[in-house]
């Protein structure tokens, strides 16, 4: 009988990252799936809310990922939306990639540039430094999404988001109330910010 190969123990910061992100995925996968639907609903309704918010639309063939929406962030970063993906870049850190049905933040290589097609070279964080970057970028991205949701409610009313969720109901595995969406994004961000506060001074950046 062959002997089992023992895997090396995880670095404490990596283990803590996995312990942080695992419980968030239980609700986060459904939250992100519903959010992607709501963005599509916002495009189709109310005169395209993404354009009203300040996004720029880039039309391209489906073979290149379909239409993309991009917005420059106040701190010099960039956020880009595709049908089932989000790219979030902050200068000095890296680029985050959120994929539908995963919720766990991926990272693009630090030297790469986010293109107009969905990323195909992203990977999960496996080093302490990458885990820290994933947490920092993930928290900032989730705060942005929460702020967008509050802007939608303040601009066109909670009924608009409620109608989007109602239209999504038949596709949802776990339905989330329209009134809860921004708060749940904030709660997820808090968990990642807590990780950054605990490990930020202990992890050496690559």
φ, ψ of residue 4 to 5 degrees: the values are: -75, 140
Torsion angle defined by CA atoms of residues 76, 143, 16 and 102, in that order, rounded to the nearest 10 degrees: -100
Give per-residue pLDDT as tens, 50-68: 999 999 998 765 655 568 9
Contact between 172 and 30 (Cβ < 8 Å): yes
Which among 199, 138, 156 is positioned nearest to 38, based on CA atoms? 156
Task: Tell me which DSSP letter residue 10 carries.
Answer: P
List, in sequence order, the alpha helices (H) in the chain: 12-44, 49-53, 128-156, 158-168, 181-199
Say what the pTM is.
Answer: 0.90
**pLDDT band for position 10 (cuts 50, 70, 90):** low
Contact between 146 and 138 (Cβ < 8 Å): no
Higher pLDDT, 83 or 29: 29
Query: Comparing 13-17, 47-51, 64-68, which segment has the lowest mean pLDDT?
Result: 64-68
Q: Which helix (H) or strand (E) holds 71?
A: strand 68-72
d(C-alpha 148, C-alpha 84), whole Å: 18
Question: Can you read off the two tokens belonging to residue 5?
Answer: 């190969």
Average pLDDT over residues 16-38: 94
d(C-alpha 106, C-alpha 109), whole Å: 10
- The mean predicted confidence, pLDDT, of the chain is 87
**Cα 42 to Cα 39, 51, 94, 183, 195, distances in angstroms:** 5, 9, 28, 19, 32
Residue 205 has a pLDDT of 57
* Exposed/middle/buried for residue 76 (C-beta within 10 Å: 0-12, 13-18, 19+): exposed
What residue ranges do the domains of the chain occupy? 12-199
Give per-residue pLDDT as tens, 106-151: 998 776 667 767 777 789 999 999 999 999 999 999 999 999 999 9
Residue 75 has a pLDDT of 79
Which 3 state secondary structure label does DSSP give 79? strand
d(C-alpha 97, C-alpha 34), whole Å: 17
């Amino acid at each position: 009988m062959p002997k089992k190969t023992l895997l090396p123990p995880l670095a404490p910061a990596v283990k803590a990252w996995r312990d942080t992100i695992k419980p968030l995925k239980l609700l986060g996968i459904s939250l992100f799936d519903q959010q992607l639907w709501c963005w599509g609903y916002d495009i189709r309704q109310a005169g395209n809310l993404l354009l009203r918010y300040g996004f720029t639309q880039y039309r391209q063939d489906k073979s290149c990922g379909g239409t993309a929406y991009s917005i420059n962030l106040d701190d010099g970063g960039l956020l880009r939306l595709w049908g089932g993906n989000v790219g979030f870049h902050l200068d000095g850190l890296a680029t985050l990639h959120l994929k539908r049905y995963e919720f766990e933040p991926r990272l693009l290589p630090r030297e790469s540039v986010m293109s107009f097609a969905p990323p195909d070279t992203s990977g999960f964080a496996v080093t302490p430094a990458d885990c820290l970057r994933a947490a920092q970028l993930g928290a900032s991205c989730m705060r942005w999404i929460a702020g967008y949701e509050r802007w939608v409610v303040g601009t066109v009313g909670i009924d608009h988001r409620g109608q989007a969720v109602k239209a999504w109901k038949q596709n949802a595995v776990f339905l989330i109330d329209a009134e809860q969406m921004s708060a749940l994004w904030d709660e997820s961000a808090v968990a990642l910010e807590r990780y950054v506060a605990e490990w930020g001074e202990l992890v050496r950046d690559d």
